[in-house]
Amino acid sequence: MSVGGVVLSRINDYSKLAVFTVRKLHEVRPSVATAVPGPKSQRLKSNLDKVQNTGAVNFFVDYERSSGNYITDADGNFILDTFTQISSVPLGYNHPDLIAAASSPRSISSVVNRPALGVFPPVDFQDRLNGALLSIAPPGFSMVQQMACGTCSVENALKCAFFKYRNDQRGGEGPTELDLSSCMKNEAPGSPDLSILAFHSSFHGRTFGSLSLTRTKPIHKVDIPAFDWPGVDFPRLKYPLGDNSAYNKAEEERALSQVDAAFEQWKNKKPIAGVIVEPIQAEGGDNHASPDFFRGLQKLCQENNAAFVVDEVQTGCGATGTFWAHEAWNLPKPPDMVTFSKKMHTGGFYLQPSFRPREGYRIFNTWVGDPIRLVLLEKTIEVIQRDSLLDLVKQSGKIIIGGLESLQSKYPGTLSQIRGKGTFIAFDLKDDATRSKLMQSMLQSGVLVGACGPSSIRLRPALIFGEKECEIFLSSLEHSLKQLN
């Protein structure tokens, strides 16, 4: 058949275009010729709004002309992207190595013949897992479950926490006949009154279980029934850390005391089967905590036979300077589960053997992931290691933090609370209105940034974000701060 040859020919043409675009765009700075969003984006948005809600759409993108650290909008504006599709692009746009990986016959077969991995996995599936997800497994993990996205990764990790908790309650035995019959009526004991503890200002997804844990913006949750599960305060540190050590230590102890109290308060109501935490609360405002806090949290989980689940959907895959953010905590033992998605190309979670379901179909959907994503992840890992991108992330992070501190000294009433690890960086503006003006000013100068929390700006650049891009970002930020002041 000639279909495969036609597909390969078109992909090869696209690969040549992308490589050319990479080279061309790296020779120029951001270039903005229209308002952003421009007239083409506005027209496209108007058309799309006739068939679906477009309230969240910023502008339309020409992905074929986007390259490296730059995104190209529908109006031809070249924009330095420090937000990268909500922190989900590891190597920038149209990376030549990823295009080559996607162009292979194996990849094309995976796209055309997407398998139901839970029942009909391809013959090389284990090899793909070994070369991708298992090759960069967090220390202490040898098992992984692939999923499609972040929220379904969290959702299914919660299920595993409940499975383990109930098996322990039954003395290691599986479900009884009463469990099996009562669950069909949504009644105990088969549908038990158990809970998961999460933190205020956390974001863990938008499906029913994960949405009950999410506590960032009311619009995410309003009108939707939620599980009655406990929530406690996450530490709110003050910066610079060195000047606020006593306050920050007390703040973390306060948060841990709330966790301890919750275990006691809920044990006769809806026992806490697990605790889930982000290494850095991203959507909620880039809120950090110290390794001591996370070690203390894990200890409380162990004392109460609750799963310790680390949600690395945003922080995983190198953005903090280590492949997994929780590596910096020096935990006495690994977490029970670690969820991932975004820069990892695929969703899923790592789990300890005791949390692995015994029966088939307990963690299941039609596709349970996507083999083509493993191909892209394997190549991404290769590029990260070959090009020493974790070192670049650390170096770029230092440049950005240093530049922000200099700007804070110039504009102390406007910019504050500089914080970050690697290029996973944020800072505060004095209020939401100031943030909105600054973001639009920067976008009009050709730099896209993201927002989080009540008044923070967050940076989520690709791992290839280098010194030149740091300088362009800082220059744009200073120009916009001058305009505001």
Give the pLDDT of the chain (485 residues) as one tens digit per residue.
333 343 334 444 444 444 434 445 456 699 999 999 999 999 999 999 999 999 999 999 999 999 999 999 999 999 999 999 999 999 999 999 999 999 999 899 999 999 999 999 999 999 999 999 999 999 999 999 999 999 999 999 999 999 999 999 999 999 999 999 999 999 999 999 999 999 999 999 999 999 999 999 999 999 999 999 999 999 999 999 999 999 999 999 999 999 999 999 999 999 999 999 999 999 999 999 999 999 999 999 999 999 999 999 999 999 999 999 999 999 999 999 999 999 999 999 999 999 999 999 999 999 999 999 999 999 999 999 999 999 999 999 999 999 999 999 999 999 999 999 999 999 999 999 999 999 999 999 999 999 999 999 999 999 999 999 999 999 999 999 999 98
**Whole-angstrom distance, CA of residue 270 vs CA of residue 228:** 9
Residue 372: name the closest of 124, 64, 89, 118 by CA. 124
The answer to whether the peptide bond before residue 189 is cis (omega within 30 degrees of 0) is: yes
As given in the structure block, the two tokens for residue 138 are 């967090």
CA 218 to chain CA centroid, Å, is 20
Strand stretches in 264-353, DSSP E: 272-277, 307-311, 337-340, 347-351
Beta partners for residue 81, in sequence order: 448
Q: Largest alpha-carbon pair distance within the chain? A: 71
Determine which one of 75, 311, 336, 428 is catalytic. 311
Asked about 342 being catalytic, the answer comes back as: yes
Crossing angle between the packed helical segments 467-484 and 389-410, to the nearest 10 degrees:
20
Is residue 443 within 8 A of residue 73, CB to CB? The reply is no
Asked about 203 being catalytic, the answer comes back as: yes
Crossing angle between the packed helical segments 467-484 and 432-444, to the nearest 10 degrees:
120
**Whole-angstrom distance, CA of residue 298 vs CA of residue 333:** 9
As given in the structure block, the two tokens for residue 232 are 């406690």
Determine which one of 342, 343, 379, 421 is catalytic. 342
Task: Tell me the pTM.
Answer: 0.94
**Whole-angstrom distance, CA of residue 473 vs CA of residue 479:** 10
**Whole-angstrom distance, CA of residue 465 vs CA of residue 3:** 38
**Whole-angstrom distance, CA of residue 203 vs CA of residue 458:** 15
- 25 burial (CB, 10 Å; 0-12 / 13-18 / 19+) is buried
Q: Which long-range contacts (CB under 8 A, 24 or more apart) does 296-300 make?
A: 296/252, 296/256, 297/256, 297/259, 298/331, 298/332, 298/333, 298/335, 300/256, 300/259, 300/260, 300/263, 300/275
Is residue 311 within 8 A of residue 154, CB to CB? The reply is yes
**Whole-angstrom distance, CA of residue 402 vs CA of residue 477:** 13
Res 106: pLDDT = 86
Residue 434: name the closest of 452, 455, 448, 420 by CA. 455
CA distances from 382 to 96, 299, 322, 377 (A): 13, 35, 15, 9
As given in the structure block, the two tokens for residue 395 are 């170096």
Angle 62-85-209 from CA coordinates, rounded to 5° = 135
**Whole-angstrom distance, CA of residue 286 vs CA of residue 84:** 16
Res 171: pLDDT = 96
Strand stretches in 278-421, DSSP E: 307-311, 337-340, 347-351, 415-421
**Whole-angstrom distance, CA of residue 149 vs CA of residue 344:** 10
**Whole-angstrom distance, CA of residue 86 vs CA of residue 89:** 8
Strand stretches in 266-321, DSSP E: 272-277, 307-311
Is residue 164 within 8 A of residue 356, CB to CB? The reply is no
Contacts of 20 (CB under 8 A, 6+ apart): none
Strand stretches in 246-395, DSSP E: 272-277, 307-311, 337-340, 347-351
Angle 377-383-384 from CA coordinates, rounded to 5° = 85
Res 4: pLDDT = 39
As given in the structure block, the two tokens for residue 109 are 């077969």
Res 481: pLDDT = 98
Asked about 40 being catalytic, the answer comes back as: no
**Whole-angstrom distance, CA of residue 251 vs CA of residue 55:** 37
Crossing angle between the packed helical segments 105-112 and 371-386, to the nearest 10 degrees:
140
**Whole-angstrom distance, CA of residue 270 vs CA of residue 154:** 20
Determine which one of 366, 432, 468, 482 is catalytic. 366
Determine which one of 203, 234, 263, 473 is catalytic. 203
Residue 231: name the closest of 209, 198, 270 by CA. 198
